[in-house]
Amino acid sequence: MAHQSTAMQSQVTFGGSNNLANDNRALYLKLFSGEMFKGFQREAIARDMVMKRTLKGGKSLQFIYTGRTTAEYHTPGNSILGNSDKAPPVAEKTITCDDLLISSAFVYELDEVLAHYDLRSEISRKIGYALAEKYDRLIFRAIAKGARQASPITATNFVEPGGTQIRVGSSLNTSDAFDSANLINAFYDAAAALDEKGVSTDGRVAVLNPRQYYELIQAVGTNGLVNRDVQGTALQSGNGIIEIAGIKIYKSMNIPFLGKYGTAYGGTTGVTSPSNTGDFVSPSIEAATAVSAGSFGAQQNYGGATAFNNTCGLIFQREAAGCVEAIGPQVQVTSGDASILYQGDVIVGRLAMGADYLNPAACVELYAGTATAPAAFS
CATH number at residue 119: 3.30.2400.10
What domain range is 318 assigned to? 29-67+83-272+280-367
21 Cβ contact list (under 8 Å, min separation 6): none
pLDDT single digits (tens) 348-369: 999 999 999 999 999 999 999 9
User: Is position 8 within any domain?
Assistant: no
29 pLDDT above the threshold of 70: no
The yes-or-no verdict on residue 95 having pLDDT over 50 is yes
User: Which ranges in the chain belong to alpha helices (H)?
Assistant: 2-9, 26-43, 109-114, 119-146, 180-196, 210-218, 220-223, 231-237, 337-342
Asked if pLDDT for residue 7 goes beyond 60, the answer is no
Is residue 147 domain-resident? Answer: yes
172 occurs within a structural domain: yes
Lowest average pLDDT, out of 12-26, 173-187, 221-235, 314-328, goes to 221-235
203 in a structural domain: yes
**Do the domain assignments include residue 155?**
yes
Asked if residue 73 is part of any domain, the answer here is: no
Alpha carbon distance 377, 303 (integer Å): 7
What is residue 364's three-state secondary structure? strand
Binning pLDDT at 50, 70 and 90, where does residue 296 land? confident
Which one has a higher pLDDT value, 135 or 224? 135
DSSP E strands in 146-297: the ranges are 164-167, 205-208, 243-244, 247-251, 256-257, 260-261
Lowest mean pLDDT among 53-57, 186-190, 317-321: 53-57
Whole-number Å distance between alpha carbons of 216 and 237: 14
Cβ contacts of 373 within 8 Å, gap of 6 or more: 148, 165, 167, 365, 367
pTM metric for this prediction: 0.84
> Quick check: is 19 in a domain?
no
Q: What is the pLDDT of residue 236?
A: 47
Q: Which of 69-78, 113-122, 205-214, 287-296 has the highest mean pLDDT?
A: 205-214
Does some domain include residue 292?
A: yes
pLDDT confidence of residue 229: 46
What 3-state DSSP class applies to 16?
coil
Overall domain count for the chain: 1
pLDDT higher than threshold 60 for residue 230: no
* 42: number of Cβ within 10 Å: 12
CA-CA distances (angstroms) from residue 21 to 16, 24, 26, 28? 9, 7, 9, 14
